[in-house]
Structure formats: structure tokens, C-alpha cells
Amino acid sequence: MRAVLKKITKRALFSVIAVVCALLLVVIGYVVYLLVDYDRLDDNLSLTVKDGTGLVAKQNEEYSILTYNIGFCAYLPDFGFFMDGGKESRAKSKESVNSTLSGINGLIGGLSPDFIMLEEVDEKATRSFKVNQREYFEKAYTEYDSVYAQNYDSSYLFYPIFKPHGKSKSGMLTFSRYNVKSNAIRRSLPIENSLMKFFDLDRCYSITRVEIEGGKELVLFTAHLSAYTSDGKIADEQIKMLTEEMQAEYNKGNYVICGGDFNKDLLGNSQEIFGRSGEGQTWAQPFPLKYLEGKDLNLVSSLDEDNPLPTCRNADGPYNPSQFVLTVDGFIVSANVEVTSCVVADGSFIYSDHNPVLMKFILS
């Protein structure tokens, strides 16, 4: 009997060892896959301009521009993202993604902006059931010129285990009701070289040149800066690079506007303004104004003192009245751009964890 038990124990031990070895091989194989498959897009990539208009913008007329991080059409009010402390890693369903796209399109269409900047637009991704959001918006705004800049094409993220985030190909869309020149480009931003690069992924901004009557250009920078960094220097390096290139364009005599998700507190004290605790939210640092010092650039954020509305909620769970909120979406403009208004266009977080921001301006 003892001999039989000994044999069974050995078999069980060998089985456990075999399972552990198999799991180790799977983990090692996955790590190798991540390392081999990881690749950053080259800097200064030329971008395709899709023609939809022949109109030419003019000086001394008022225009409107909207920036909106659409959160790959997953962040409905009951959505909490796993990387922010929530539970979800994907949109609810393909039908939900399509319904959200329709809602966002209706919201933007109702505002009828002259220029549109959209961030986190999926082209093909597990998290959004492979719905081509880029194609949807390009078909919806055929009367605009458009430029798409791919932000990243990530490896398959096998986490959370039971519903992996998967593989994501995503980017930013810029639309212009006025003629865009053919020399649009994608600039690669500095990112971390540690393992964080597999979570924060690639980062970039696009440069789109709009023709202005008389020979000048309106240079549009569409940006989505890093959020999940362990090294705060990276975010500063990104803003430094962005503002220096903007200043160079202004020095050429052009008008310059950058819009997007800066992943920095543009108000500097959102916690006090909105009365929501930001304890533990180390990513929500004030925008480093030092990179605007000595430059002909101004930070523009929306703040209605009578009814202050944030542009972003922390997605650590479903939206609730006590959840941390702040303003990270807005614009940086050159001194020759006269801003007449800047407002949060919708404050309900109904389609995304971000609210759209609409700015009106004159090229003076």
C-alpha cells in the first residue's frame, strides 16, 4: 500500500512540475513575442490627405475647432478601465460601439465645427470589436479634408486574463472644412524605454497645414500625450518638443493651433475647482507652463466660473458624482490667433471618459 501511495505521489508531483513548466514556457513565449513584435513608427512620416473641399480660409474671420478624445467608443458612463482601476478592458459589444459612434457623430454634427480633432480612434482593435472607427468618420465628413495619423499598432495584450485587451491599431483624425496642403506629417514623441512602453504604447502628434488666403498657413497640431508613465521626465520632454516645433512655425509667420488630450491638468488646480479628491492620482500633474515661457504661445482651456465643467473623468469605475475629474483637453495657440471663446461642448461624459471642447477663434 505504501509503495502504491508513493507511486501516486510521484505521478502527482511530476504532473504539477509538468504543468508549471508548461506555464513557464507560455509566459516566456509571450514575453518573447512582445519583444519581437514591438515596433515604433518612424519619425517624420508623410500622411495622406483625403480631399473633400476646395474652400480657402481667410484672415479676420471667426472659425471654430473641436477636440474630442472619443475613448475608442467604449467609455460609456458605466465603464471603468482596467488600467485606471476599473474592471473593463473592452467595449460592451459591437452594437454598443456602433451606437456610440452614431451618438458622437450627432454631437459633433450639431456643433458644426470648421476643424475637428479626434483622439483614440480605432482602425482595427480587439477592444472595440474591430469596428473601423476611422472609416466611419471619414464617410461622415466627406465635405472636409481629412488626415489620419496612426498612433500605435500594439501587440496583443493578454490582460486581463479572462477578457484580454487584445491588439489595437489606433490613431488620431484631423478634419478641416478648408483646403489642407499635401505635406501633412506624423511626428514621433519621446516615450519610455522600460516595460511601460508596452502599456503606454507609441505616442505622436500630427501636423496638418491649412491654406490661408494670402499665402500664410494655419498649422494644426493634433496631439495625444502620454498618460501611463513611471518617469515624469517623459511627459515634459513631449511638451518641450511639441511647443518648440509650434514656436518654429509661428516664427515662419504662420498661425498655429495645437489641440488634443495633453494628459496634464490644464487648470493647474482642477481638484479645488471641481471639488473632487485627486488623492493618489499621480498622473494628474499640472501642465508645465515653463515650456511656454519665452514663447509666443498661450494655453487655452475651458473654464466657465459660473458653471465649471471638467473635460475628463478618472475611469476607475462607473461615473459617479464623487469621481475625480479634471481638465486635460484643450488648446495651445500662437499669439496671432485671437481666441473668442472656449467651452466644454457637452459635460455629461455620455459617450467617453472625455468631454469635447469647442474653441472659437480669429486669425488676426
Question: pLDDT of 271-321, one tens digit each?
Answer: 999 999 888 888 889 999 999 999 999 999 998 877 889 999 999 999 998
Range(s) of the domain holding residue 28 = 1-37
Q: Are residues 32 and 111 in the same domain?
A: no
For residues 18 and 48, membership in a common domain is answered with no
Residues 33 and 58 in one domain: no
Residue 184 and residue 268 share a domain: yes
Residues 177 and 161 in one domain: yes
Examine the domain organization and report whether 179 and 104 are in the same domain.
Answer: yes
Instruction: Tell me which residue of 162, 157, 104, 106 sits closest to 133, measured CA to CA.
Output: 104
Q: What is the pLDDT of residues 150-186, one digit of tens each?
A: 998 888 887 788 888 889 999 999 999 999 999 999 9
**9 and 106 fall within a common domain:** no
Provide the Cα torsion 79, 84, 90, 95; round to 10°: 30
- 32 & 127 share domain: no
Q: Pairing state of beta strands 325-326 and 312-313?
A: antiparallel
Which value, to the nearest 10 degrees, does the dihedral of the CA atoms of residues 343, 202, 71, 123 take?
Answer: 120
Most confident of 12-26, 35-49, 216-230: 216-230
Same-domain status, 24 and 45 = no
Contact present, 79 and 107 (Cβ < 8 Å): no
Number of domains forming the structure of the chain:
2
